[in-house]
Structure 1
Amino acid sequence: MADTPPSTRTPGQPGPSTATTGTATTSTSRRPALSPSRASDFKQCPLLYRFRAVDRIPEAPSKAQVRGTVVHSVLEQLFALPAAERVRERAHELLAPTWRGLVAEQPELGELFDGADDPQLDSWLESASGLLDSYFALEDPQRLEPESCELRVETELESGVLLRGFIDRVDVAPTGEVRLVDYKTGAAPREVGEAKALFQMKFYALVLWRTRGEIPRQLLLMYLRDGQSLAYTPDEAELRRFERTLEAIWQAIQRAGNTGDFRASPGKLCQWCDHQQRCPEFGGTPPPYPGWPEPDPGVETALDRAD
């Protein structure tokens, strides 16, 4: 892999592209993009960003992460059903088949449990059922008709920074107001965690604004572990400031990508990091810098979006 600096646009490349939603781009080569998860990684620790986006070192998913992915998938399937069928019992029926389908796609996830008869699997599925029960306590899906679920969004800022991500749900009121909804399978966070969650939602709000020319009326975070919701109303001035923040993050990523100087930033979250054995803060040595990844370090996975 060539050690080339990242760039937002190569010579001869067309200018800002029209944002796409819901479908893949037609280009055969995907430019480097910034996603909410990767932007948060770089803010938290540039070396973590490198391990995930540049080196692409696999990380073992936790049971909690995979449970979040399953619950997200069940809710997506639920809204694909006719309104009359969006009931608690139907959601519970979808859990086990969704888990089996995920394992069929990613067999390594089956290693989280000791076979289909593992009692821990039953307990784990039961905990997922509890999260669905919590969802139904927060809202009635029979009364909603989302415009889209698991919506892929992409837009290019005037500065050339390409933004890309997935929105759990987009609601549009009869009067036209837009609400962005994100499911969190963890508990409602304290101040630091709340700021991180709102960073993700402001990212989506900015992409939608630049795509449609409309600022979402509400950003709604639904915390299913403890049945709490966090609603937030962004405004234009705030999203313009946030846009400048993302541009600054991308510029910092470019500088680090040009030199390979992705430094560790130790903090409280280090104790949960999978990369301690290769982190200088813990006496480790990172692998040789492989150069800027091709084609794209901005990919988000379902595990990234599950909390």
Structure 2
Amino acid sequence: MARIALSLPLLLMAAPVPAQQQQQGLMPEADEKPSEIIVKEKPTQRRQPDRFSIDTGMRVAGQYISRGVAFSEEPSLQPYVTLTIALPELSGGPFEEVRWFVGNWNSFQFGGPGLGQENRGTLSGWYEADLYTGVSAELAPRWSMSAAYYYYHSPAHSFRGYSDFEWIVSYDDTGQWEGILPLKDFTLAPSLRITQEVGRPGRADALYVQPSLTASLNLGREDRPVWFRIPLVLGLSDDYYDSANGGKVTFGYFRTGVTIATPAFELAGNPFMVGGGVDIWMLNDKVVNGLNDNELVWRFGFRWSF
């Protein structure tokens, strides 16, 4: 049986935004981390990038689910900040618009963590503090990639630290649906994410594979965009999903949902994005994940890049 949580309404005032910035700063979906957002949105940014840029934001989620596994049944506050440095000196040959990024992502729980994990010490409630760094680049006119290293740490001692190496390849299909579908600025943004765990406590390191499409269109005007997104995501792994009957299961979940985001106003000449949505998790009932077969999770937040 599905568990449903409803979001608070968002009252948004859209301000005019330059055309080249309209798709910058879209809200992260579900358990996406900032490195994924950087590579997914980069192909739409057709201007000379600044040498230094900062991307920051915060999301409130009704429940913290990552890769189809429960990390908290209660709401979570998830702020992050990413510094990106453009490296035009490395552009040339097969690589264009090379960038290096480093940042921090956190999850503060309003309740105890899932799966019977601890929540103790002077920083109880600070479930997760991730550090990450990596590079992103354009490989061809419509292809881009990123490679990132993550270190996962729990200030509340809910889990022991470990690392991930993550690779993402994305295709930019902007403009390819014009004349085919009567939808403004429609894209599917196909992407493949591959993550290899390193030093995961208590079990073998897992390889995680996540193919995805994200249908996106603009419901607003060119100068006042309202971005509507529907993700279609699969979660697959060799050792990540424990079977209730023993052994491992390859298929973890299918996720979809709806996200709406818009620039509420401009701050220091850049759009301040606000938005919200609902994630629909359709989970493998053979997996020990601390969840029901279906979960509906609300979320809302903001994002600002400068």
The two structures have a TM-score, normalised by structure 2, of 0.24
Relative to its length, the structure with more strand (as a share) is: 2
Q: Which has the higher helix share?
A: 1
Query: Larger relative contact order (C-alpha < 8 A, sep ≥ 6)?
Result: 1
Instruction: State which structure, 1 or 2, has the greater radius of gyration over its C-alpha atoms.
Output: 1
TM-score by length of 1: 0.24
